[in-house]
């Protein structure tokens, strides 16, 4: 006690052989011992920090010793390992037996309402499934009917047909015995060896027919004929015509020559050259 009206809970005790438990409102050491299936003397001995066993407070941490497991009984039939949440009534219903028959093969259980996870109990002989195949399997933690069927190479429907005691396929418990069908061997057909196909050479193509030969007077040219352009005709000199009324060049000199008009116009000749026109200018004498 520190101060007025305040309680400081002591430090958690050292609990190597048990588990820690936090006291809640309404708890007593007797109720805690009964809840965990230990004796009151063992609970008091595991908590020497409690001076008055009749005075505990909510929030106080106490040590609950582990109850020693009862010895494994000698079972004429199968055994079952209790898991968290199991009761004898649920186990009897699961295996299709009565609670009295289950207690009769487990004389070590003095209190039917008190069993512990990990405890081994006996199952009556009638609880074992009648297997025509003679093969049984004991369920282990983590097993499902689907995983068992996959592991044994059978279908879930075949497992359920041989185990009518399983009313819920999604609910099986560790330690439960189920009947396992014998899987039928699958005979695979023998495949005859197939010889590889013999390669067949491709058939030769027939020769193309030659076109009929025609006699020609001249061999065929290699290309179209090339037409060379005709050169420009030379200009012919002739005297200026003395046709009356025809204008004469100025100045006119007797005996001068003039080029006559060629048969091809000068603008159309491909080899024409531009002639420079000489321009004569008169000098001004002033």
**pLDDT tens-digit map of 156-205:** 888 888 888 787 888 787 777 788 887 655 545 566 777 777 887 777 76
**Cα 179 to chain centroid, rounded:** 36
Rounded to whole angstroms, how far apart are CA atoms 150 and 63?
45
What pLDDT does 182 receive? 73
- Domain extent listing, the chain: 18-65, 70-125, 127-182
pLDDT of residue 229: 59
Q: What number of other Cβ atoms are within 10 A of residue 15's Cβ?
A: 17
- CATH fold, domain 70-125, is Membrane-bound Lytic Murein Transglycosylase D; Chain A (3.10.350)
Residue 10 or residue 203, greater confidence: 203
pLDDT for 240 equals 47
- pLDDT tops 50 at residue 107: yes
Give CA–CA dist 206/114, Å, rounded.
101
pLDDT in tens, 214-255: 655 555 556 666 666 555 555 554 444 545 555 555 554 555
pLDDT the model gives residue 3: 47
Q: What is the model's pLDDT at position 238?
A: 47
User: What pLDDT, on the 0 to 100 scale, is given for residue 281?
Assistant: 59
Residue whose C-alpha is closest to residue 16's, from 64, 76, 67: 64
Mean pLDDT of 72-100: 80
**Residue 105: pLDDT band with limits 50, 70, 90:** confident
Kindly report the CATH class assigned to 18-65.
Answer: alpha beta
pLDDT, mean over the chain: 72
pLDDT band at 1 (very low <50, low <70, confident <90, very high): very low
> Which of these ranges, 1-15, 203-217, 267-281, has the smallest mean pLDDT?
267-281
pLDDT, average across residues 107-117: 80
pLDDT of residue 97: 81
Residue 135 C-alpha from the chain's centroid: 38
Overall average pLDDT of the 58-70 stretch: 80
| Mean pLDDT, residues 135-159 taken together | 85
Tokens of residue 229, six digits: 């352009």
Same fold, 70-125 and 127-182: yes
Q: Dump strand ranges (E) for the chain.
A: 18-22, 61-65, 79-81, 120-122, 136-138, 177-179, 237-239, 257-259
CATH topology for 127-182 is: Membrane-bound Lytic Murein Transglycosylase D; Chain A (3.10.350)
- The confidence score (pLDDT) of residue 209 equals 63
pLDDT of residue 248: 54
Q: Tell me how far apart the alpha carbons of residues 27 and 221 are, in angstroms, rounded to a whole number.
A: 127
């Amino acid at each position: 006690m520190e101060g007025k009206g305040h309680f400081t809970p002591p430090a958690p005790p050292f609990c190597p052989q048990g588990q820690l438990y936090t006291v809640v409102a309404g708890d007593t050491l007797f109720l805690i011992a009964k809840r965990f299936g230990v004796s009151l003397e063992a609970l008091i001995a595991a908590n020497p920090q409690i001076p008055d066993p009749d005075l505990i407070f909510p929030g106080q941490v106490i040590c609950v010793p582990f109850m020693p497991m009862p010895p494994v009984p000698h079972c004429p039939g199968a055994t079952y390992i209790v898991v968290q949440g199991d009761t004898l009534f649920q186990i009897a219903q699961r295996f299709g037996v009565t609670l009295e028959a289950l207690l009769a093969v487990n004389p070590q259980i003095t209190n039917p309402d008190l069993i512990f996870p990990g405890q081994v109990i006996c199952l009556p002989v009638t609880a074992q499934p009648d297997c025509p195949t003679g093969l049984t399997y004991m369920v282990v933690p983590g097993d499902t009917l689907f995983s068992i069927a996959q592991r044994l190479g059978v279908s879930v429907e075949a497992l359920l047909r041989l185990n009518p005691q399983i009313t819920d396929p999604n609910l099986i418990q560790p330690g439960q015995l189920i009947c396992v069908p014998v899987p039928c061997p699958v005979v695979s057909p023998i495949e005859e060896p197939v010889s590889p196909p013999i390669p067949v050479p491709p058939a030769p193509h027939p020769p193309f027919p030659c076109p009929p030969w025609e006699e020609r007077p001249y061999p065929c040219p290699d290309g179209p004929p090339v037409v060379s352009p005709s050169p420009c005709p030379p200009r012919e000199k002739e005297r200026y015509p003395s046709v009356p009324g025809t204008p004469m060049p100025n100045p006119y000199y007797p005996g001068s020559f003039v080029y006559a008009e060629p048969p091809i116009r000068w603008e159309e000749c491909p080899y024409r050259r531009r002639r420079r026109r000489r321009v004569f200018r008169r000098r001004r004498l002033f």
